[in-house]
Amino acid sequence: MSTVNTPGPARLEGREKVTGAARYAAEHTPPGTAYAWPVPATIARGRVVTVDTGRAMDEPGALAVLTHENAPRLKDVDDATLLLLQNDRVPHRGWYVALAIARTLEAARAMAAAVEIGYAPEDHDAVLTTGHPGLRVPDEANGGFPGSRERGDFDGAYERAPARVDATYTIPPLHNHPMEPHATTARWEDGTLVAHDSSQGATTVQETLAELFGLAKERITVVSEHVGGGFGSKGTPRPQVVLAAMAARHTGVPVKLALPRAQLAATVGHRAPVVQRVRLGAGEDGVITALAHEVVTQTSTVREFVEQAAVPARSMYLSPNSRTTHHVVALDVPSPSWMRAPGEASGMYALECAMDELACATGVDPVELRVRNDTATEPDSGKPFSSRHLVECLREGARRFGWHERDPRPRSRSEGRFLLGTGVASSYYPVLLAPSSAEVRAGGDGRYLVRVNATDIGTGARTVLAQIAAEALAVPLELVSVEVGSSALPRAPLAGGSSGTGSWGWAVHKASRALRALVDEHGGTVPPGGLAAGADTSDDVEAEPPYAKAAFGAQFAEVRVDRDTGETRVRRLLGVFAAGHVLNARTGRSQLIGGMTMGLGMALHESSTLDARFGDFAERDLASYHVPACADVHGIEAYWIDEDDPHLNPMGSKGIGEVGIVGTAAAVANAVHHATGVRVRDLPLHPEKLL
Ligand code: MOS
């Protein structure tokens, strides 16, 4: 077994980014650009009955106010969060009811404040409870997974088990909050639309806009050249691109719309709150005989989104008798959506805390307990894993971390007024792939150009695609340029589900190999006019594999808890992952420690409060919604075990964008229990819960 951590190539666009030359969506200003500012609803549910735009239109520079009365009509699409300003219904507080457009940003903001909306409010229900009469089991959870699964006889096996854990864990709503807010600059020219949009997938945005506006997709170009983070909140089109396109069509001038951060919480999605009951039945040796993971969550009345938190329990451990179920209720609340490792981050928090409780109940070491429950086949599908190496991650992590020096008794270590503890949890994220196309050109000048509508959301996608092409072409990396981030490029899937590198890379690899063959046919030289080859992986990707495929990992945390204040600090966080071949150690490590840092935020700080009276979130900025700052992150280390798995894709890679956040919160919570003896089952681990 080897762990590999040699540096990889630096980001191709790094210099552009640090010098400010890289242009983001709101940094395009075509001549005559106007500015838009949205007006959110101030009631939690009801109807718009009057709209008075008189005062708003008196603002100097005012161009128009769009409302449901005058906005361009949109065609129906699956995602109803995009059907904006189409009727008088207010499904939740913060839903957009008008859009002010002016010559300047300041005027647009002043106009938005001056728009007078009269409402007919209705009673609303924004409170999730585990006894809510509206709860039901959905056919499908997010990702198309069955809403409920049963194997064997859970009730009987649990009843007979000598060791049992029955615990309920809660996670509050969480928000993605990327550095770059959701923004679009849109312009119409001769019936065609060009939108610079901050998005994780310009092809998806292009195709959705084509449906909404009833246009051939060839008449729409969406550019997402540089994107300042998304974490799922830009995975599919969000309101800004629809509003900007409507505003530009209505006014006849280019329109720029950057959503104010204070409005993001209600409009671009969030990780839904989940209440999770986990029951584990095991032998005295800790081997699991019965596993139930039951999830209660909420969605909105606009669109169904069911956080698939019970899904990882279908893959992780031995579970001959298993029940994994989601219950969802549609409330008058903003629509939840994707947030980094939706389902896995939530579900593995609960499952991995329950594993720690089982370790305590049986006296089996937490690392050893996970080893004993390892499985070579995926319990739910019965398929063998193409590669797994969870045990190797646990063992290598334990060695590097110094796990075995630990006295397992809670409150056994302290330093002055600080209690110290360590905890472990496993990580898991499925290998997802989507069909992609790509084109590679060889110029007469000896250079190569890769063209694919991939999106670099800050991950280093450009760089790794250049590496893949260089390797498949057998040419030096310096000779390869990459164009990504435009729907005018060959069609490609979005950057989501940790599927980008595998999906785009497969197409780039295939096109590069085809081009290499073409060059060879020309006697190894490129004619002055150049050569080009294209590829599409639809057939390669859609074949149903006989294997279960996932990335795994093990995370170890050491915490220090202040006895007097209850404040928890994470002293050390160490992860070892198994994710196929990591193609670029530099950007790969950034992905993993970025995920772990986000998991640290989930453990200790991050929380959005849905105010039941108003039906909306109280935290609306980065002061009240605290994402980890540098001062919160002490020692953090990510390593990996290089896996040679021929069943993944030609590069042998698994996704790494999300596996890093999975398990972190449990590792920290388990360490806090070890330090204090207090089992907090409700995130985040705020100080008052420990006093
Ligand atoms: Mo990620 S939540 O799959 O964009």
Per DSSP (E only), the strands in 226-269 are 255-258
Does 338 contact ligand 1 (Cβ within 6 A)? yes
**Best probe residue, ligand 1, of 174, 234, 340, 598 (max atoms within 8 Å of C-beta):** 340
- Evaluate if residue 358 carries a pLDDT over 70: yes
Does 339 contact ligand 1 (Cβ within 6 A)? yes
Which residue out of 471, 619, 658, 688 is catalytically annotated? 658
- The number of the ligand 1 atom at minimal distance from the alpha carbon of 338 is 2
pLDDT (average), residues 421-447: 97
Looking at residue 215, what is its pLDDT? 97
Looking at residue 438, what is its pLDDT? 98
- Output the CA 456–ligand 1 centroid distance in Å: 13
Cross-strand partners of 174? 271
* Phi, then psi, of 259 in degrees rounded to 5: -65, 130
Looking at residue 3, what is its pLDDT? 45
Per DSSP (E only), the strands in 380-511 are 413-415, 418-430, 437-442, 448-451, 480-483
Give the whole-angstrom CA distance, residue 121 versus residue 597.
Answer: 41
Q: pLDDT-based confidence at 2, cuts 50/70/90? A: very low
CB distance 661 to 341 below 8 Å: yes
pLDDT digits (tens, 9 = 90+) for 472-523: 999 999 999 999 999 999 999 999 999 999 999 999 999 999 999 999 999 9
- The number of the ligand 1 atom at minimal distance from the alpha carbon of 497 is 3
Does 493 contact ligand 1 (Cβ within 6 A)? no
- Output the CA 246–ligand 1 centroid distance in Å: 27
- The number of the ligand 1 atom at minimal distance from the alpha carbon of 232 is 4
CB distance 199 to 227 below 8 Å: yes
Q: pLDDT-based confidence at 544, cuts 50/70/90? A: confident
Residue 122 falls in the annotated catalytic set = no
- Evaluate if residue 292 carries a pLDDT over 90: yes
- The number of the ligand 1 atom at minimal distance from the alpha carbon of 230 is 4
- Evaluate if residue 356 carries a pLDDT over 80: yes
* Longest CA pairwise span in the chain (Å): 77
Residue nearest to atom 4 of ligand 1 (CA): 232
Cross-strand partners of 168? 277
What is the DSSP-derived secondary structure letter of residue 228? -
pLDDT digits (tens, 9 = 90+) for 158-203: 999 999 999 999 999 999 999 999 999 999 999 999 999 999 999 9
Give the whole-angstrom CA distance, residue 449 versus residue 481.
Answer: 5
Does 340 contact ligand 1 (Cβ within 6 A)? yes
- Output the CA 309–ligand 1 centroid distance in Å: 14
Give the β-pairing of 568-578 and 635-641: parallel
- Evaluate if residue 551 carries a pLDDT over 80: yes
Does 500 contact ligand 1 (Cβ within 6 A)? no
pLDDT digits (tens, 9 = 90+) for 514-525: 999 999 999 999
Assigned token pair, 16: 């552009």
Closest Cα to residue 51, out of 96, 117, 104? Answer: 117
- Output the CA 109–ligand 1 centroid distance in Å: 31
Closest Cα to residue 293, out of 165, 162, 391? Answer: 165
Name the average pLDDT for the chain: 97
- The number of the ligand 1 atom at minimal distance from the alpha carbon of 339 is 2
CB distance 490 to 437 below 8 Å: yes
Closest Cα to residue 480, out of 513, 447, 507, 515? Answer: 447
Looking at residue 303, what is its pLDDT? 96
**Best probe residue, ligand 1, of 204, 205, 231, 270 (max atoms within 8 Å of C-beta):** 231
Question: What does each C-alpha distance from 542 to 335, 529, 537 come to in angstroms?
Answer: 30, 35, 8
Distance of CA 614 to the CA centre of its chain: 27
Does 497 contact ligand 1 (Cβ within 6 A)? yes
The total of other beta-carbon atoms located within 10 Å of residue 18's CB is 10
- Evaluate if residue 4 carries a pLDDT over 60: no
Looking at residue 5, what is its pLDDT? 52
Tell me the three-class secondary structure of 16-83, residue by residue.
HHHCCCCCCHHHCCCCCCEEEEEEECCCCCEEEEEEECHHHHCCCCEEEEEECCCCCCCCCCCCHHHC
Residues near 174 by Cβ (< 8 Å), separated by ≥ 6?
Answer: 270, 271, 339, 602, 606, 607, 608
CB distance 225 to 485 below 8 Å: yes
Closest Cα to residue 656, out of 605, 602, 586? Answer: 586
Give the whole-angstrom CA distance, residue 104 versus residue 127.
Answer: 40
- Output the CA 232–ligand 1 centroid distance in Å: 4
**Best probe residue, ligand 1, of 270, 305, 338, 501 (max atoms within 8 Å of C-beta):** 338
Give the β-pairing of 192-197 and 183-189: antiparallel
Q: Is the pTM value of this prediction over 0.95?
A: yes
* Phi, then psi, of 229 in degrees rounded to 5: 90, 155
Cα dihedral sign, 500-503-506-507: negative
* Domains along the sequence of the chain with CATH: 25-123+176-267 (3.30.365.10), 142-174+270-431+549-690 (3.30.365.10), 432-542 (3.30.365.10)
285 three-class SS: coil
CB distance 248 to 256 below 8 Å: no
Q: pLDDT-based confidence at 1, cuts 50/70/90? A: very low
Q: pLDDT-based confidence at 543, cuts 50/70/90? A: confident
Amino acid, single-letter form, for residue 72: P
Does 305 contact ligand 1 (Cβ within 6 A)? no
Assigned token pair, 493: 């899937």
- Evaluate if residue 608 carries a pLDDT over 70: yes
ipTM above 0.90, yes or no: yes
Assigned token pair, 594: 């970025």
pLDDT digits (tens, 9 = 90+) for 83-102: 999 999 999 999 999 999 99
